[in-house]
Structure 1
Amino acid sequence: MLGAPAVQAETAELAAGLGMPAGKAEEKLTAHLRLLVPTHETGPTRLLHALLHPALSCWDLQVDRSVAAELRQLGGLHPLVFLPAHRGYADPMLLATTFRAVGLPPTIRFAGDNLSFWPIGPLGRRTGSVFIRRNFAGDRLYTLAIRSFIRYAVRHGHNLEWYPEGTRSRTGQLSPFRHGLTRTLVEVLDDSPSGDAYVVPVTISYELLPDAERLVAEDAGRPKRPEGVRWLIEHCRASRRLRGGRAWISFGTPFSIREHIAPAQPGTDAKDDGRGVTAPGAGKAEAPASGWRAARAVGRELDCRLRAASPVTPGCLLILVLTGGHREPRDVWQIMRELKSLMAFIGSRKIPGVGLRPLSSQREVQRVLGRLVRAGAVAVDVPGPASPSRYRIGAAQAHLAAFYREQTVHWFVTRAIAELALATATDGTAAEVESWALRLHGLLGGLIPLPEPTAFLAELHHELAEIGWPDGEPEAVAALSPTRLLAEQPFLLGHRVLGGALEAALAAATAQADSHEQAGRPEFPGGQGALTGRWPESRSQNRWRAATAAATRATAAKNTAGHDSEPDTADRRAERRRAYVADLAAAVRGLDLVADLDVRADQGRADQGRAAGDRTTDGRSTDGRSTDGRSATDAGGPHAEAASESDAAGVPPPSPAFADSRPVASSGGVADRNDEEREKP
């Protein structure tokens, strides 16, 4: 590396700029590179897996092999850059197991130097890990060392791996990307016009995370505990408590970085909405020449493809069911009745899912619920020996449950906005409903992942049509009541998906409006973050920061034609804040209405089931209960579990993505299995 002409020229130029001798600059650069350059050795790899075996052996790893052949072929032509969404500390080791299982070579993995403690650091450097500083913007020699190493790795065809969020998500959603390494890679490729590298999005989904409880505690304000030997021991113990959990790894569609640093085509400029979700390829529209703009374009494309590849998990789906209505306790048969409607929704929209097909079984639903209870995301009430157990998400479980739900909630956002627009529109006309939907899209910008406006409108009209709202037919619209239409739906999602985000936004906007001209942003109120307490997960530092930033953007002065000369007075700013708070308050009231309608509709469906009074040959009614009021499993008997199978209609069929997966045992005791495949209709 040091002998490369480009590195020598940059070192001499940097030394002159810093006013130090060239020999001194080269000496420092050499010291940095000695700490960066890793090796791949068999002995340390086995030793590291043995050391982390307690944390890795608890996972039943299931691998998507559908694109393995394509990745192997593409990797023979260009370096591959694997950029996973960061969920937990086990991500790198499970991904290394996956590479061995699908026949891909090991990667050079970039990690934060907070994990370089003994023995992870010394062993990690001999198994392909590069431990870098979390922030090195002010150290130009260290930056040169990173760039020199990446240039060498790319030119020699090594595959790279890092986590673009730079940290594990505290909310379950994708965190904003840090573009430093991506920018360095873009600059390296820009210096070599003939070179290219392909980004491979990777999704890692866990049934449960051993450190999820600590993550949400940090999101609520608890300081992060530094990593070390004691921390490692406790993490391994926590992982053992969740033994038998499932993890799924799948690869998104690779894309070329070269296409994002090519000259822009006339008339192809695209606007970015900050945290929106756009269609694949949207990041190429801006096509900046180099630097930060190219890195952000790559980030937008990656964000889109990671979300498109993120599957719905059984735990996420059951938590979505339990957050319905006013979060009343539900027994397993009530859960399965609503679960069937949600599964039909997922199947009709071709949303990817993993482990969903077995949820047609009462036994599997109870197994997943039991694991959620054990993890602290769900509470269970046992009224008595003759009554079925009832599951709920209370205030103590809300934040942790939201962490799991938010991982795939983006699939349900447009439907939730459609419901809320119908509940909030005052006159009930088609124009008013669409206007409120666009207003909600603006209010939620930066708080939850959203499609860009054009795609959002297309999805909105589809969802409204699915609900039964006629598009562009004034006579039909006039004959309909939006409230009655919502009450007739088999399920409602608005309050389940948007409650925490809108309540946090209302809390932040109210605090900002009350502070008037107070300098800086309002401080995070901790336990007082929620205004109504209906959505306790709104008490989140990350939500508060995003909501405060959104309120600042929404109430900032906007220069419009004919108004540029008008001064932005304190009264005008206060008026904008009041209008913003009023819109959010109306949206929260709409969520309350949706929740009330959801409770009423659920009660109506239950009453209809009891009124039907049909009995099956084994003495169970149409809602799955035995004649003595107990569920089939509670009633006991050798065939209770077999008799509890629900109708499989509406359950998404398995996709080819996991169809050819085979059991592959890793050195850490992790295997992928074929019995529970990924579903993608």
Structure 2
Amino acid sequence: MSATHDVQSAGRWGWLTSNLRSRKHSGRQLLHSPRFVEGLGELAARLKQPLPAVQAQARRAAETLSTVINPAFSALSDKVFSPLFTRAWTIDADHAALARLKQINAAVPLVFLPNHRSYADPFVMAQVCRDAGMPRNHVLGGDNLGFFPFGTITRRTGGVMIRRSFQNDPVYKFVVREYLHHLTAQGNNLEWYMEGGRSRTGKLRPPKYGLLRYLVDAFDGEHDLLLVPVSITYDQLHEIGMMAAEEGGAAKGKEGLGWMREYVRRQRQWIGRVHVRFGEPLSLRQALAPAGAADDAGAGRWTVEKIAFSVFQRINQATPVTAPALTALALLGVRDRALTLAEVCAVVHPLLDYAAQRGLPSAGLEFLRREAGVGRVLADLGRSGVVRVYALGKEPVYSIHPGRHAVAAFYRNSAVHWFINRALLELAMQSVLDEPSADPRPEAWNQAFALRDLLKFDFFFSNRATFRQEVTAEARLLDAHFADHIATPAARMMALEQAPFLVAHRVLPAFVEAYFVVADRLAAQPVDLPVNRAQLIEQCSRIGRQYLLQKRVRQPEALSRELFGNALELAQNRRLLEPGDQLAERRSAFVSEIARAMQALATIDEIDHRRSTT
């Protein structure tokens, strides 16, 4: 072996050991800080454990959590590693918002809280921040990605790898909390994904509060932190097919070197843009100010849940409507019929007008006003196997490819929140079609609020007063003189039949049908025993498949473990999972309520079908 090789090897090992020492130094800084030492002593006393034993646990935890941002590893990640994960897309970021954030960041640390759609998300965020001249974020994530070389590089480029579960480890909790304080006190920016995992449905999952709770607990108010909601929206995703299979019951593959090799291989084909938008930042100091504080207008200290809810609402408000989302929306909810290009355009074009009327954020949709533009999106979705085209007849017709409904729904659901209030308005109108009263609004409002309550674990609705204002605005968009034109049942039917578009049957059936499967199986459970959630979800997956074959439910994307889980949260909220008074009757009423919603959607579907075929 040559002397040159020995020197090169020594240099490489010296580089690695130097970085290891840097990480250990970072951990020691935390362990020796006065705040940490004092808090750890109090924790040991509270746990009634010897201080040296608790210190040893804390040291081990700090060593696994500690991270550094090493220029050499950062360059390796940016030039080699990151492109392997992001080359499938062109990044479209809001540069004006980034410039404002960069200016704010000169005085205040930022906590970026993006939605989570892909393993590529952190790499996209890193490139966006780097291109804007902002410092690299410290990204908090699960240690399931700690395998070599992913973990090795991540821990030396600001990645903080946290155990997936540590509910029963108070020392680890303490170290996580204090490390968050340590990082932000030094002026570092943070980033993590509050959904706790990639969305399987394309819309926001309910937030996980753990890390936010630790951040709030560690916040001392001395320096403010700004929470920055971030929307990441992909035109298409290579990995969505695997996620859809997992939702249908397939086992999730374990992350490792083989997984990474396959993931990177899939990214070789370019499939569009990834749109990065930023919601209105939220001051943590203001959110946590006590009631009556001058900068909080007496609103009172926010709970962690309220902060998370507000962040997610702001993510939704920043999320753009994309061309694939509108195109998928047009092809879903049409009874599995194939549509001509003109028929797809007949759905998409009124939605473009609606988006313009409301001033919705969008990702360059004007090209969809031309048939060729819609055709281009259909062709893109066809190449990725989502859309099937039959071109041997009089003209090409398009439909969702068999087995790919969940993928199409994923793209639609990225924008579904923009159409929910309109869908609830349509269902509220449907509920009073036969109402003899000249003023059906009280009953229609009852129905709208009941549907809002039914879907509150899947969508981030505004409070009741704001929701009422939003639905009223939707009614005025439908008809400027809405209240004057709904005095009779015939007038109400005409309002629906002459609406520029109807969407309830295109955006809600999968959610309602998933709830029906859960309610149906819940009604069959013994009333004297608590429900085993995992077993019930397995049962819903199996029997839901039967119901789909029998056409008792019609949306393949309804067979989603994520949706089943949200339905169970609703059932828990209504005290339907534990033994209680009149439980069988209340479960039966739950089934009936959802069945009525399904029937209402079928009515809207029938009205729209008549409109499109006459």
Q: Which residue number corresponds to residue 283 of structure 2?
A: 256
Alignment of 1:183-194 (within 5 A): 183-189=213-219, 192-194=220-222
* Correspondences of 1:163-182 after superposition (within 5 Å): 163-182=193-212
CA distance in 2, matches of 1:511, 1:323: 26
Check 1:26–1:569 CA distance in 2 against 1; reply closer, same or farther (3 A cut): closer
Distance 1:433 1:219, change over 3 A: same
Q: Determine if the alignment matches structure 1 residue 452 to structure 2 residue 481.
A: no
TM-score, length basis structure 1: 0.79
Q: Shift of residue 376 of structure 1?
A: 3.0
Q: Is the 8 A contact 1:326 1:599 kept in 2?
A: no
Residue in 2 that maps onto 1:496: 506
Q: Does 1:60 align with 2:93?
A: no
Task: Give the letter for the 2:122 counterpart.
Answer: P
Query: Partners in 2 of 1:285 and 1:214 — Cα distance?
Result: 45
1:242-321 equivalences under 5 Å are 243-265=270-292, 285=299, 287-288=301-302, 294-321=303-330
Alignment root-mean-square deviation, CA: 2.5
The one-letter code sitting in structure 1 at the alignment partner of 2:148 is W
Cα gap change, 1:118 to 1:580, in 2 (>3 Å): same
The CA deviation at 1:448 is 3.3
| Residue 35, structure 1, aligned to residue 64, structure 2 | yes
Shift of 1:302: 0.5
Confirm or deny that 1:538 pairs with 2:558.
yes
User: Which residue in 2 is equivalent to 1:225?
Assistant: 253
Are 2:576 and 2:587, in contact at CA under 8 Å, matched by a contact in 1? no
The alignment status of 1:44 with 2:73, answered yes or no, reads: yes
Q: Do the aligned residues in 2 keep the contact of 1:38 with 1:127 (CA within 8 Å)?
A: yes
Contact 1:425 1:436 in 2 (8 A): no
Contact 1:555 1:576 in 2 (8 A): no
Query: Which position in structure 2 is the counterpart of 1:656?
Result: none
Q: 1:586 aligns with which of 567, 586, 596?
A: 596
Give the conservation status (yes or no) of the 8 Å contact 2:313–2:460: no
1:90: which partner in 2?
A: 120
Change (3 A) 1:501 1:156: same
Q: Distance in 1 between matches of 2:218 and 2:521?
A: 46
What displacement does 1:423 show?
1.9
Given the superposition, is the C-alpha separation of residues 154 and 476 from structure 1 closer, same or farther in structure 2, using an over 3 Å criterion? closer
In 2: Cα distance, 1:579 partner to 1:546 partner? 18
**Alpha-carbon distance in structure 2 between the residues aligned to 1:193 and 1:48:** 34
Give the match for residue 435 of structure 1.
446
Query: Which segment drifts farther, 19-28 or 130-139?
Result: 19-28
Residues matched between the structures, number: 568
Residue 582 of structure 1 and its aligned partner are, at CA, apart by 2.3
Partner of 2:429 in structure 1? 422
Where 1:490 maps in the other structure, the secondary structure is coil
Q: Distance in 2 between matches of 1:35 and 1:552?
A: 37
Q: How is 1:230-245 mapped onto 2 (pairs within 5 angstroms)?
A: 230-241=258-269, 243-245=270-272
Q: Residue 248 of structure 2 contacts residue 561 of structure 2 at CA under 8 Å; is this kept in 1? A: yes
Q: 1:61-116 deviations in whole A, cap 9, x for unaligned?
A: 11101122321221111111111111101111111110111121111111110111
Q: Which amino acid aligns with 1:92?
A: P
Question: After superposition, what is the alpha-carbon deviation per residue over 1:539-563, rounded to whole angstroms, capped at 9, x for unaligned?
Answer: 1111112223323434659xxxxxx
Give the aligned residue type for 1:484: M
Q: Go from structure 1 to structure 2 and tell me whether the alpha carbon gap of 1:480 and 1:92 turns closer, same or farther (over 3 Å shift).
A: same
The correspondence for 2:497, drawn from 464, 487, 499, is 487
Q: Show the 5 A alignment for 1:317-328.
A: 317-328=326-337
Match of 2:36 in 1: 7
Q: Deviations over 1:421-455 (max 9, x none)?
A: 22232533333322222222222222334332222
Per-residue deviation, residues 400-425 of structure 1 (Å, max 9, x unmatched): 11111112201100111111122232
Q: Give, as a single letter, the amino acid of the residue that structure 1 aligns with 2:522.
A: Q
CA distance, structure 1, for counterparts of residue 85 and residue 99 of structure 2? 30
Q: Secondary structure at the match of 1:515?
A: coil
Provide Cα deviations, 1:611-650, integer angstroms capped at 9, x if missing partner.
xxxxxxxxxxxxxxxxxxxxxxxxxxxxxxxxxxxxxxxx
Between the aligned residues of both structures, percent identity stands at 32
**Alpha-carbon distance in structure 1 between the residues aligned to 2:423 and 2:99:** 38
The 1:151–1:569 alpha-carbon spacing in structure 2 relative to 1, beyond 3 Å, is: closer
Letter in 2 for 1:466: L
Distance 1:254 1:552, change over 3 A: closer
Aligned twin of 1:113:
143
Deviation track 1:343-399 (CA, whole Å, cap 9, x = no partner) reads: 001110111111312222333322221222233332222234xx3221112552211
Pairing 1:528–2:562 present: no
SS of the residue corresponding to residue 487 of structure 2 reads helix
Structure 1 residues 426 and 413, CA gap change in structure 2 (3 angstroms): same
Which residue pairs with 1:342 in the alignment? 351
Structure 1 residue aligned with 2:22: none
Cα distance in structure 1, aligned partners of 2:473 and 2:306: 29
Asked whether the 8 Å contact 1:83–1:162 carries over to 2, the reply is: yes
Match of 2:61, as an amino acid?
H
- Could you say if the C-alpha distance between residues 24 and 589 of structure 1 is closer, same or farther in structure 2, counting changes exceeding 3 Å? closer
Q: Quick one: which amino acid aligns to residue 414 of structure 1?
A: N
Secondary structure (helix, strand or coil) at the match of 2:95 reads: coil
Q: What are the superposed Cα offsets for residues 25-49 of structure 1, whole Å, 9 maximum, x if unpaired?
A: 3333233223222222232223234
How far did 1:499 drift?
0.7
Counterpart CA distance in 2 for 1:358 and 1:476 is 36
Q: Does structure 1 residue 202 correspond to structure 2 residue 202?
A: no
1:55·1:237 contact (CA, 8 Å) conserved in 2?
A: no
Q: Report which stretch shifted further, 525-534 or 343-352.
A: 525-534
Task: Assess, with a 3 A threshold, how the Cα gap between structure 1 residues 471 and 286 changes in structure 2: closer, same or farther.
Answer: farther
Q: Contact 1:398–1:537 at 8 Å: present in 2 too? A: yes
Partner Cα separation in structure 1 for residue 584 and residue 214 of structure 2: 43
1:481 counterpart SS class = helix
Superimposed CA distance per residue, residues 507-563 of structure 1 (whole angstroms, 9 cap, x where no aligned partner): 222222233516315443225325623222111111112223323434659xxxxxx
- Work out the CA distance in 1 between the residues paired with 2:261 and 2:377: 27
C-alpha separation in 2, matches of 1:193 and 1:212: 41
Structure 2 letter corresponding to 1:420:
L
Cα distance in 2, alignment partners of residues 221 and 286 from structure 1: 44
2:399 aligned partner, one-letter code = R
In 2: Cα distance, 1:105 partner to 1:489 partner: 50
Please say if 1:512 is aligned against 2:522: yes
Aligned to 2:241: 213
Structure with the greater relative contact order (CA < 8 A, sep ≥ 6): 1 or 2?
Answer: 1
Are residues 42 and 227 of structure 1, via their aligned partners in 2, closer, same or farther at CA, if it must alter by over 3 Å?
A: same
Cα gap change, 1:85 to 1:569, in 2 (>3 Å):
closer
- The question of whether the paired residues in 1 share the 8 Å contact of 2:143 and 2:161 is answered with yes
Aligned to 1:271: none
Q: 1:2 deviation in Å?
A: 2.3
Runs of at least 5 residues in structure 2 that lack an aligned partner in the other structure:
1-29
Map of 2:473 onto structure 1: 462
- What is the one-letter code of the residue matched to 1:525? C
- State the one-letter code of the partner of 1:551: A
Name the aligned partner's letter for residue 207 of structure 1. Answer: D
Deviates more, 1:533-542 or 1:523-532: 523-532
Partner of 1:194: helix, strand, or coil? coil
8 A contact 2:109–2:187 mirrored in 1:
yes
1:231/1:101 Cα in 2 relative to 1: closer, same or farther (>3 Å)? same
Decide whether the 8 Å contact of 2:517 with 2:540 is kept in 1: no
Quick one: which amino acid aligns to residue 412 of structure 1? F
Please give the secondary structure, in 1, of the residue aligned with 2:273.
strand
- Please identify which structure carries the higher helix content: 2
Give the CA deviation at 1:13: 2.7
CA contact (8 A) 2:387 2:399 kept: yes
The secondary structure found in structure 1 opposite 2:430 is helix
Shift of 1:126: 1.2
Q: CA 1:365–1:599 in 2, change beyond 3 Å: closer, same or farther? A: same
SS state at 2:31 partner: coil
